[in-house]
DNA sequence: TCTGGGGTCCTAGGACCC
DNA sequence: TCTGGGGTCCTAGGACCC
């Protein structure tokens, strides 16, 4: 049996842990630069705030309805997430952390000795007690069915106590008939459009299609999903693996035209990419840079620059990566354009064990030691060492009008109780 | 004025090999 | 007029997830 544990309205719930007076009140959390709504409490959903709503279009509604607005505070959410996950890990040795707010848990052979539903109810309580984060749990013989069960638990919290189990054929069919096709895990906009055109409206109808049709139009991924929904476990349980690509991309708080401004921002992205690479002990073989004008400003000339470069040897040196990235930036930069977004992506990553020396060139060994020291200092003291090509005065600043405190990760921002 | 960020997997088709 | 067969590797792009 698999359990899918999902935190309810995770970012909104994190904010409420430290603002308990907001329990039962509508709140939303905004994306970087306070751009769009990326999390909503149930109350905010009920007031008609859609996912992804541009904040400026809804400012009036927030005010009228007394909806509390927060800027996103990833340091807080990341820390709360690891607290939830480590609590869950005490319930089973097999845990797949699927996203910041979701985990799959495997209970091999547990059903023989345990009442799994009672076990899950205990999990909900324990997570609540340890972190104050509300979670919902779906239990089923496959991952896709656990997702379905989770949706039911979340939709009917009173009747289910936030735990729902699909453990009989009757319950499986009933659940699938209840699930709309567009709500199925792995079926997005394109697939549900095509399926609806064929009068397939529920997950159950989807499972009645022929394997060949599903394989042809939805690849093997679609076929695995179908089998999973039929109760035959076909989607792998994945243990932690290093990332295959790492990206740092940002929209700018304002539009930039000068190359020097963009070069500085991009150098900062590279520094962050390098740090993430070294953290998971990987080296990049390919690095990409992109630079976009403001897509929403149809009145301005548009330009989308993108370039992919091979590194001369596998590297995680911020210096080497930046040399390439700045070279690439010169090739894609066009003057007279107002730029709104840029990013750096490293990919084709190799792990340290598979590290292959270049034939003619290799990493400057001094960089390795230097960067190790930089990382160690930054980990210990919190981003105290920066590269000279980064904006040391921090002229640019993300728009974050409603940022909450980093209560759990910064001594200076502890919650005060009076 | 204002519109997020970071990932994964799969396939078709071209380039290349013998 | 007419032009083999069987592979591998790589990449761009599409689809999806949170």
How confident is the model over A109-118, as pLDDT tens digits? Answer: 766 667 999 9
A156 phi and psi angles, rounded to 5 deg:
-125, 65
Number of helical (H) and strand (E) elements in chain A, helices listed first: 15, 12
Mean pLDDT of A341-362: 80
Residue nearest to nucleotide B9 (CA to C1'): A221
Query: What Rg do the C-alpha atoms of chain A give, in angstroms?
Result: 24
Give, in Å, how far the C1' of C16 lies from the CA of A194: 15
Q: Which residues contact A177 (CB under 8 A, 6 or more apart)?
A: A202, A203, A204
Question: Which pLDDT belongs to residue A263?
Answer: 94
Q: How far is the CA of A217 from the C1' of C4 (A)?
A: 32
Give yes or no for residue A265 having a pLDDT over 90. yes
A363 has pLDDT over 90: no
pLDDT band at A317 (very low <50, low <70, confident <90, very high): very high
Report if CB A191 to strand B is under 7 Å: no
Query: CA A197, CA A204: separation in Å to the nearest integer?
Result: 16
Position A361 pLDDT exceeds 80 = no
Using pLDDT thresholds of 50, 70 and 90, give the confidence band for residue A166.
very high
- The gap between A224 CA and C8 C1' (Å) is 27
pLDDT band at A358 (very low <50, low <70, confident <90, very high): low
A101: Cβ under 7 Å from strand C? yes
Angle at A399 (CA atoms; ends A398, A405), nearest 5 degrees:
90
Q: Is the CB of A100 under 7 A from strand B?
A: no
pLDDT tens across A219-228, in order?
A: 999 999 999 9
Q: Which nucleotide is nearest to A398 (CA to C1')?
A: B4
Query: A219 phi and psi, to 5 degrees?
Result: 60, 180
* A32 CB-to-strand B distance under 7 Å: yes
Cβ contact A338 with chain B strand, < 7 A = no
Check whether residue A239 has its CB closer than 7 Å to nucleic acid strand C. Answer: no
pLDDT at A365: 82
Of A17, A30, A324, A5, nearest to A162 (Cα)?
A5
pLDDT tens per residue, range A270-306: 999 999 999 999 999 999 999 999 988 989 998 989 8
Q: Report the run of H or E that residue A259 belongs to, with start and end.
A: helix A259-279
Q: pLDDT value at position A129?
A: 98
Q: What is the model's pLDDT at position A351?
A: 80
CA A408 from chain centre, in angstroms, equals: 20
Which tens digit of pLDDT belongs to each residue from A177-220?
Answer: 999 999 999 999 999 999 999 999 999 999 999 999 999 999 99
For chain A, give the mean pLDDT.
Answer: 92
Is A187 within 7 A of strand C by CB distance? Answer: yes
- Which nucleotide has its C1' atom closest to residue A7's CA? C18
pLDDT at A165: 97
What H or E segment, with its residue span, contains residue A59? helix A55-65
Q: Is the CB of A340 under 7 A from strand B?
A: yes
**Could you tell me which of A376, A279, A363, A374 has the C-alpha nearest to residue A315?**
A363
């Amino acid at each position: 049996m698999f359990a899918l544990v999902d935190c309810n309205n995770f970012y909104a719930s994190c904010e409420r842990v430290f603002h308990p007076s907001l329990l039962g009140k509508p709140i939303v959390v905004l994306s970087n630069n306070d751009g769009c709504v990326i999390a909503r409490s149930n109350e905010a959903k009920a007031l008609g705030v859609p996912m992804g709503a541009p904040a400026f279009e809804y400012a009036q509604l927030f005010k009228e309805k007394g909806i509390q607005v927060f800027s996103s505070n990833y340091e807080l959410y990341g820390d709360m997430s690891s607290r939830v996950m480590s609590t869950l890990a005490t319930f089973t040795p097999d845990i797949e952390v699927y996203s910041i707010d979701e985990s799959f848990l495997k209970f091999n052979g547990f059903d023989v000795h345990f009442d799994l539903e009672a076990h899950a109810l205990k999990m909900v309580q324990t997570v609540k007690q340890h972190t104050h984060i509300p979670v919902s749990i779906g239990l089923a013989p496959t991952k896709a069915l656990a997702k379905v069960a989770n949706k039911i638990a979340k939709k009917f919290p009173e009747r289910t106590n936030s735990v729902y189990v699909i453990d009989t054929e009757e319950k499986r069919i009933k659940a699938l008939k209840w699930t709309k096709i567009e709500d199925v895990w792995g079926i997005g906009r394109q697939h549900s459009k095509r399926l609806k055109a064929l009068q397939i409206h529920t997950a159950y109808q989807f499972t009645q299609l022929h394997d060949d049709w599903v394989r042809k139009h939805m690849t093997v991924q679609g076929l695995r999903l179908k089998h999973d929904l039929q109760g035959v476990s076909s989607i792998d349980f994945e243990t932690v693996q290093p990332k295959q690509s790492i990206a740092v991309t940002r929209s700018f708080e304002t539009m930039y035209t000068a190359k020097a401004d963009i070069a500085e921002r991009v150098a900062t992205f590279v520094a962050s990419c390098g740090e993430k690479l070294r953290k998971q002990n990987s080296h990049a073989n390919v690095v990409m840079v992109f630079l976009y004008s403001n897509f929403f400003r149809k009145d301005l000339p548009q330009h989308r620059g993108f370039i992919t470069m091979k590194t001369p040897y596998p590297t995680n040196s911020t210096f080497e990566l930046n040399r390439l990235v700045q070279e690439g930036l010169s090739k894609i930069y066009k003057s007279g354009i107002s730029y709104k977004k840029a990013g750096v992506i490293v990919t084709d990553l190799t792990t340290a064990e598979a590290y292959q020396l270049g034939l003619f060139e290799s990493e400057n060994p001094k960089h390795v030691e230097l960067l190790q020291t930089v990382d160690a200092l930054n980990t210990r003291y919190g981003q105290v060492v920066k590269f000279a090509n980064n904006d040391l005065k921090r002229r640019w600043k993300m728009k974050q009008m409603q940022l909450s405190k980093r209560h759990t990760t910064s001594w200076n921002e502890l919650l005060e109780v009076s």
